[in-house]
Each structure stands twice: as structure tokens, then as C-alpha cells.
Homo-oligomer: A and B are copies of this chain.
Amino acid sequence: MLTIDLYSRIPIYQQVIDGIKEQVLLGILREGEQIPSIRELSVEISTNPNTVSKSYSELERTGVLHAAVGKGYFVAIGASERIRKDMVFEERKTLIGAAENLKRIGITEEELQTWLREVYQNEATKEKNET
């Protein structure tokens, strides 16, 4: 089940993309499996079908979904691994960028490592973070 934050500055269509990827990554959606139709999902999250359509198109373009005309959308084979790689690439870039900035400001390596240690000691790390 996708949860959409209508108050977020992140566009709804982007939240849908992130949500689908998340579910594939967590195995909630399996490769080859059919996902809700545009119409169904748009009702579920009370949004415009055009918005969901935009998300699905983008996901098809990036190889996460596969569109079968007249049948619906399916999770592409190999989607999980592809998503994982992209995500590592992106998040790594974000992490290193932040670390560089913090270094420039004068934060020591020790402080950073302490913060990271806390992240790994927390068991529940469920949600995504926005700026």
C-alpha cells in the first residue's frame, strides 16, 4: 500500500515512483508480478490518473516496469537489482556530498562516524527523508 504525503514538496508523481521502487526493493512487489492499474492506484491514493500515468511511464522508461498493452503494468525482470544499484549510486553521492560540506565547515571525521554509528545502532529505520 502506497502512502502519499500531500503536504510534501516532493511531487506526487515522484512519491509514487519512489514508493513503487521501495516496494520492489523490499520484495512486496515481486519481479514479473502485475501491479495495480493506473485507475486503481489513482483511486487508492485519491489523485489524478494522469499523475499515476506519469509515474508509470517514467518507471517503464527506467526499466522498472514493463507495460503489456491491454493487460497492465508488470514489474520488470531484474528490476530489483537495477533499483538497488541506482539507489546506492544516488545515496552514496548524497552522503559523500554532505560529508564534504561538513568537512569544509569544520566537522571532524570522528563526529561523522559517531553519527553513522547511531544510525546503525537504531534498529528501526523505516522512513525516507526529505530535505
What is A's interface to B at a CB cutoff of 8 Å?
6-7, 11, 25, 66, 68-69, 84, 87-88, 90-107, 109, 112-113, 115-117, 119-120, 125, 127-129, 131
Q: Are A104 and B84 neighbours in the complex by a CB distance under 8 Å? A: no
Q: Are A119 and B103 neighbours in the complex by a CB distance under 8 Å? A: yes
Q: Are A116 and B109 neighbours in the complex by a CB distance under 8 Å? A: yes
Least CB distance from A22 to B in Å reads 9
Contacts of A112 in B (CB 8 A): 95, 116
The 9 closest A-B CB pairs, nearest first, are A97-B129, A95-B98, A94-B98, A109-B120, A100-B125, A99-B119, A91-B98, A91-B101, A91-B102
Least CB distance from A110 to B in Å reads 10
Contacts of A87 in B (CB 8 A): 101, 105
Question: How far does the alpha carbon of A131 sit from the alpha carbon of B101 in the complex, in Å?
Answer: 13
